[in-house]
Amino acid sequence: MEVESLDGGRLFVSRQHLPLLQENGLDTFSRVMALPEGFLRRDFPGRRTSRLELRRPGGGVQTVYLKRYFPEYLSGMSRRFRRLRGASIDEARDEWEAGIQISALGIPTLDMIARGQDASETNAVRSSFIMTAELAGAEEGHHYAKKLNRVERRRLLRKVAELTRRLHSAGWVHKDLYLGHYLVKPIPPDPPVFLIDLQRCAQPNCFVQRWRIKDLGALAYSSLKAGLSASDLAAAYRVYRANRPLDASSRHLARQVLRRVSWLKTRTPKHDTDFEQLR
């Protein structure tokens, strides 16, 4: 992706989308952050995601999602850690860079338009944003799965398992891999699937298996909640294992994932009172 840097390095725009921002006068970090809320899609302490409509050059409307991070998003410890590191790290930049690298693996994700950050003199980020294009007509995986018949649900989960295998094989973990973080565009006969919410994605140097189990546990748990069966999960696990024979290591991993699923059934998701309101 070719990127243009604007506003003294506070704003980064995909070159192909630069005319869109120019058409709407969004050529500085502060102007993007000052956009109205529009339709508020997610609202957590210090982080808000809005659905907005921008004018396209030459006419028409481009629907975008703007995820904004504010100073209160970080705990006091996180703020101190960033000051000590003196690096311009933040969730918006992490999601942007993860999107570029994960897309290069052949895993479809959102079309990124722009990102920006406001940093202190020590480069510790105080506020930031990432803007992405809407995937028109796409549905969260757990909602979409409920509309499918048994054969279609299994086909969807096998595709999700293949993308997850590709992600993990490249050393990445998602850290929040519920089925709702795979979007599906209902285009027959082979609906494309997109991985979203990449701000926590990482390539960890330690505890890698722990994070993989967390991903697979969240995916299995949310799939069961969406109506998929244990046999569907078994079929997906074979895809995740690239159809290799189930050896002792594979069985051990499966048992660890099932333990994670059992634990998830005992808790309420951190930001939700109802599991259906996946973030």
Question: Percent of the chain, pLDDT > 70?
Answer: 88
pLDDT confidence band for 274 (50 / 70 / 90): very low
Whether 279 shows a pLDDT value over 70: the answer reads: no
Tokens read off for 134: 């809407």
Note the pLDDT tens digit of each residue in 28-45. Answer: 999 999 999 889 888 888
Question: Hey, where are the domains in the chain?
Answer: 3-133, 139-264
- Residue 24's nearest CA partner among 2, 50, 57 is 57
Whether 88 shows a pLDDT value over 60: the answer reads: no
Assign domain 139-264 one CATH number from 1.10.510.10, 3.40.605.10, 3.40.50.300, 1.20.1050.90: 1.10.510.10
pLDDT at site 78 = 60
- Residue 203's nearest CA partner among 172, 169, 166 is 172
pLDDT confidence band for 200 (50 / 70 / 90): very high
Find the mean pLDDT for residues 82-107. Answer: 83
pLDDT confidence band for 91 (50 / 70 / 90): confident
pLDDT at site 45 = 82
Given 3-state DSSP classes, what are the helix, strand and coil percentages for the chain, each rounded to the nearest 5? 40, 20, 35
Tally helices (H) and strands (E) across the chain: 9, 10
pLDDT at site 269 = 58
Q: Where are the beta strands (DSSP E) in 74-138?
A: 112-119, 125-133
pLDDT at site 50 = 96
Measured CA distances, 16 to 11, 13, 32, 95, 231 (Å) = 15, 8, 18, 19, 44
Whether 197 shows a pLDDT value over 70: the answer reads: yes
Half-sphere CA count of 70, side-chain side, radius 13 A: 10
Note the pLDDT tens digit of each residue in 97-151. Answer: 999 999 999 999 999 999 999 876 556 678 899 999 999 999 999 999 999 999 9
The model's pTM = 0.89
Note the pLDDT tens digit of each residue in 164-193. Answer: 999 999 999 999 999 999 999 999 899 999
Note the pLDDT tens digit of each residue in 202-219. Answer: 999 999 999 999 999 999
